[in-house]
């Protein structure tokens, strides 16, 4: 691997840092950043403050003033409305999509990068064709297929097409990171008498870890974020994922805006926990989505 993981660049290789000493502060950039801070921070502040406001307080108190009488009732209400089920369903969908994508895409990447013969390039082109095709475009036939498979209103109905449409980008990312594995290493494996299975497991997979992390992050994001497939392909309450739950909370809460915003705030908690637990690989994964 010639490329260090991006976030490590700062700490592990101080020599590559930009010179620190002789710079005057960049006022323009600082002001811009502060402005953006306001744009991002204010809505988040309003969201959090409103979510602890009593329902009656929302319409009378100003949206920016701190709540006179903060309460967690709205959160309790969201949990009572089955929010934990939605979280569990989303977790299943997200993990399954990420795992499915990794299990399918990594061997494809290996084949594309290392196989002899023209078909390997053909396989890559086959996947790349789907690069910019939005999953939305196929929701009608997917609905038809899922219905025929008897999978309507199951989590598998969300998992399968979501994973399929994450594959092109993932194959692309993986081939990129696998091409960086040097020929010497393959030859060393060959000297050990390793066949393609062992080469794959002992060399390709371990050295593609950053790529795999990126792919897993990307696929999880797609699964976590999706609303259209759950909207069309599932119905019942016990198959509901967070995004659909939020969408349906909308009608349910009517004038109870604080209750709805509490559900929204709650929906960020799983990712927040994930971020705290696996901050580095998450950030690296996201940076990796952009390639270099």
Partner 1 sequence: MSAAAGGPARPGAAWALPGALFFLVFAVVPLLLVGYLSLTSWEGLGAPRFTGAQNWVRLAGDPVMRQAVVLSAALTAATWLVQTPISLLLGVWAAGPQRNRAVLSAVFFTPLLFSSAAVAIVWKTLLDPNFGPITRVGPWLGLPDANVLGSSAGAFLAVVFVSAWQFIPLHTLIYQGGARQIPAVLYGAAEIDGAGRFRRFWHVTLPQLRHTITTSSVLMVVGALTYFETVLILTQGGPGTDTSIVPYLMYRVGFAGYEMGYASAIAATLVVAATGVSLLLVRFTGFAAMRSTREGM
Partner 2 sequence: MVNFKRRAVFAAATALAVLALTGCGAGSGDDAMDVWMYQDSLNVVQQAAVDRFNAEHGPDVTATMVEVPGDGYEDRLRTVMGSDDQPDVFFNWGGGGIRPYVEAGTLLPLDDLLADDPELRDAFLPAVLQAGQVDGVQYGIPLRGTQPVLLFYNREVFAEAGAEPPRTWEDVLDLVEVFQEAGVTPFALAGATPWTEQMWLQYLVDRYGGPEVFARIQSGDHEGWRDPAVLRAAETVRDLVERGAFGDNFGSVSYTEGAASALLAQGRAAMHLMGAWEYSTQLADAPAFAESGLGYVPFPAMPGGAGDPANLVGNPTNFFSVTADSPHTEHALAFLRTTADEEYVRDMVANGEVPTTADAAEHFADAPDPEYAEFQYELVQRAPSFTLSWDQALPPSVAAPMHTEIQRLFNGQSTPERFTDALAALR
All residues at 6 or more sequence positions from 216 whose CB lies less than 8 Å from its CB, including other chains:
98, 101, 102, 285
Q: Check residue 79 for interaction with partner 1 (CB under 8 A).
A: no
Out of 47, 154, 186, 286, name the contact with partner 2 by CB under 8 A: 154
Q: Count of residues binding partner 1 (CB under 8 A)?
A: 120
Tell me if residue 24 falls in helix, strand or coil.
coil
Out of 74, 175, 239, 281, name the contact with partner 1 by CB under 8 A: 175
Tell me if residue 137 falls in helix, strand or coil.
helix
Say if CB 244 and CB 33 are below 8 A apart. Answer: no
The span of 67-75, 80-88, 91-99, 155-163 binding partner 1 (CB under 8 A) equals 155-163
Q: Check residue 254 for interaction with partner 1 (CB under 8 A).
A: no
DSSP 15: G
Q: Is 249 exposed, middle or buried (0-12, 13-18, 19+ CB in 10 A)?
A: buried
Q: How far is the CB of 96 from partner 2 (least distance, A)?
A: 4
CA distances to 89, 107, 205 from 181, in Å: 37, 15, 11
DSSP codes joined into one string, 200-258: IIIIIHHHTHHHHHHHHHHHHHHHHH--HHHHHH--SGGG--HHHHHHHHHHHHTT-HH
73 binds, among partner 2, partner 1, none (CB under 5 to 8 A by kind): none
Per CB under 8 A, which of residues 263..292 are in contact with partner 2? none
Say if CB 102 and CB 287 are below 8 A apart. Answer: no
Helices (H) and strands (E) in the chain, counts: 17, 0
The span of 68-76, 79-87, 91-99, 270-278 binding partner 1 (CB under 8 A) equals 270-278
Q: Check residue 209 for interaction with partner 2 (CB under 8 A).
A: yes
Q: Count of residues binding partner 2 (CB under 8 A)?
A: 40
Q: Check residue 159 for interaction with partner 2 (CB under 8 A).
A: yes
Out of 54, 85, 92, 126, name the contact with partner 1 by CB under 8 A: 126
Q: Check residue 59 for interaction with partner 2 (CB under 8 A).
A: yes
Q: Is 118 exposed, middle or buried (0-12, 13-18, 19+ CB in 10 A)?
A: exposed
Query: Residue 7 corresponds to which tokens in the numbers above?
Result: 């976030």
44 binds, among partner 1, partner 2, none (CB under 5 to 8 A by kind): partner 1
Nearest residue (CB) to partner 2, 82 versus 121 = 82
DSSP 68: S
Q: Is 143 exposed, middle or buried (0-12, 13-18, 19+ CB in 10 A)?
A: middle
CA atoms within 13 A on the CB side of 6: 16
State the binding string over 68-107 for partner 2 (x if CB under 8 A, else -): ------------------------x--xx-xxx-xx----
Nearest residue (CB) to partner 2, 61 versus 248 = 248
Q: Check residue 248 for interaction with partner 2 (CB under 8 A).
A: yes
Q: Check residue 66 for interaction with partner 1 (CB under 8 A).
A: no
Out of 12, 46, 84, 88, name the contact with partner 1 by CB under 8 A: 46
Q: How far is the CB of 69 from partner 2 (least distance, A)?
A: 20
Residues of this chain that interact with partner 2 (CB under 8 A) are: 59, 92, 95-96, 98-100, 102-103, 143, 147, 150-156, 159-160, 201-202, 205-206, 209, 212, 231-232, 235-237, 248-255, 257
């Amino acid at each position: 691997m010639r490329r260090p993981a991006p976030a490590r660049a700062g700490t592990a290789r101080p020599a590559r840092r930009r010179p620190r000493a002789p710079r005057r502060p960049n006022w323009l950039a600082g002001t811009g950043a502060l402005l953006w801070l306001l744009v991002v921070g204010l809505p988040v502040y309003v969201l959090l403050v409103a979510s602890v406001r009593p329902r009656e307080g929302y319409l009378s108190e100003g949206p920016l003033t701190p709540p006179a009488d903060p309460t967690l009732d709205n959160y309790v209400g969201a949990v009572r409305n089955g929010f934990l089920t939605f979280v569990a369903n989303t977790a299943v969908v997200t993990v399954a999509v990420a795992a499915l994508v990794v299990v399918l895409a990594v061997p494809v990447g290996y084949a594309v990068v290392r196989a002899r013969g023209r078909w390997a390039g053909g396989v890559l082109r086959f996947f790349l064709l789907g690069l910019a095709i939005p999953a939305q475009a196929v929701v009608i036939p997917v609905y038809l297929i899922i219905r025929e498979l008897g999978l309507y209103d199951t989590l598998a109905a969300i998992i399968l097409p979501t994973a399929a449409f994450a594959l092109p980008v993932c194959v692309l990312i993986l081939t990129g990171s696998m091409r960086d594995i040097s020929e010497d290493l393959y030859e060393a494996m060959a000297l050990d008498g390793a066949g393609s299975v062992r080469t794959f497991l002992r060399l390709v997979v371990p050295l593609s870890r950053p790529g795999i992390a990126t792919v897993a992050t990307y696929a999880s994001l797609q699964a976590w974020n999706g609303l259209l497939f759950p909207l069309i392909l599932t119905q019942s309450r016990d198959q509901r994922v967070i995004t659909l739950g939020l969408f349906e909370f909308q009608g349910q809460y009517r004038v109870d805006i604080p209750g709805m915003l509490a559900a929204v705030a709650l929906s960020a908690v799983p990712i927040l926990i994930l971020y705290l637990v696996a901050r580095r690989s998450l950030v690296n994964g996201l940076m990796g989505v952009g390639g270099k």
